[in-house]
A and B are shown apart, each in its own frame.
Chain A
Amino acid sequence: MEIGLSHYLILSGLLFAIGIYGILTRRNAIALLMCVELMLNAVNINLVAINRFLQPDWRIMTGQIFAAFVIVLAAAEACVGFALVIAIYRNLNRINVDEINLLKW
């Protein structure tokens, strides 16, 4: 019994699907952003595992560097996203995304 590439791909698929489920069922904006973080982590697992199993030379770590940029992106997304949530919460006193319908005509 050995752990291969397919194990990692299925695990990350599972994590991504759980994130999708959360995005579709949650109403709280903070919970939604947490589900986005879950999905970004699933992508990172994929990148690192594929880099390890399909690149025989460990010194060419393109997948790991790509994953580092995804982490940078996730940090920026969390920063701006939570600033938006706090601003909306302060102005409208609402946190559920389906009640924030100012732009709905």
Chain B
Amino acid sequence: MGEVIAFYILALIIVLGALAVVTGRNLFHCGLSLAAVLLAVAGLFILNGAEFLAWVQVLIYVGAVLVIILYAIMLSENITGERILLISQNRGVGFAAATLVFALIAFLGISLSGLLAGHTSSVKDPVLALLEGADSNVIVFGTLLLTRYILPFEFASVFLVIALIGALVIARTAE
């Protein structure tokens, strides 16, 4: 029962916050609504037993990405000193396309969850031998990341360095 209540509260925050992000007039308020959405998504992760991912979401999204967004908003408003009011255009086309996409995803989702409802994989995963006695989400996450997913993990670190240097080069002022 508690999960039902928590799910509906978080879903309400997510949907209303996302609507505020896409329809708001003030860009700064849109950024704050985005923070609410991201925190509610972290709550959904906890509901699904992904505690470590929830904290990663709070740290990286709310802590880093959102701060970058707010910096970009303030920089772009303060260079000219005029407030940017948001305008939406092509509302009809956007609404039609969004409805179509939602209908498609909902149809696929309902049929998929119906199809796979009783499905359980019976294959014994060899990586389970490594996780003998592991009892917390973080331990399992770290073990998997440094054994089976070591290659993507290392690639992600190189990727982040490339992105960081690229962003610095792009945003640098020409002298």
On whether the beta carbons of A64 and B50 are closer than 8 Å, the reply is yes
Q: Is the interface of B mostly helix, strand, loop or mixed?
A: helix
A73 to B114, CA, bound (A): 31
In the assembled complex, B56 has its CB within 8 A of some CB on chain A: yes
In the assembled complex, B9 has its CB within 8 A of some CB on chain A: no
A93 to B81, CA, bound (A): 12
Which of B22, B38, B72, B91 interacts with A18 by CB under 8 Å?
B22
| Number of residues of chain B lying within 8 A (CB) of chain A | 90
| Number of residues of chain A lying within 8 A (CB) of chain B | 74
Interface of chain A residues 1 through 22 with chain B (CB within 8 A): 1-22
In the assembled complex, A104 has its CB within 8 A of some CB on chain B: no
Chain A, Cβ-Cβ closest to B105:
A13
Chain A, Cβ-Cβ closest to B171:
A83
**Chain A residues, CB < 8 A from B71:** 82
How many residue pairs bridge A and B at CB < 8 Å?
242
On whether the beta carbons of B90 and A9 are closer than 8 Å, the reply is no
Chain B, Cβ-Cβ closest to A72:
B156
On whether the beta carbons of B45 and A18 are closer than 8 Å, the reply is no
On whether the beta carbons of B159 and A76 are closer than 8 Å, the reply is yes
A82 to B175, CA, bound (A): 21
On whether the beta carbons of A14 and B48 are closer than 8 Å, the reply is no
In the complex, given contacts A52-B49, A54-B121, what are 19 additional A-B residue pairs having Cβ atoms less than 8 angstroms apart?
A6-B109, A8-B44, A10-B105, A17-B99, A18-B19, A22-B21, A24-B93, A24-B97, A25-B88, A30-B73, A41-B37, A45-B41, A61-B144, A74-B65, A75-B64, A76-B159, A79-B68, A82-B69, A83-B167
> 6 A-B Cβ contacts within 8 A?
A21-B94, A25-B88, A25-B91, A28-B27, A34-B31, A51-B48
- A residues in contact (CB < 8 Å) with B: 1-22, 24-28, 30-31, 33-35, 37-38, 41, 44-45, 48-49, 51-61, 64-65, 67-69, 71-76, 78-80, 82-87, 89-90, 93, 95
5 nearest CB pairs, A to B: A9-B109, A13-B105, A22-B22, A76-B163, A17-B102
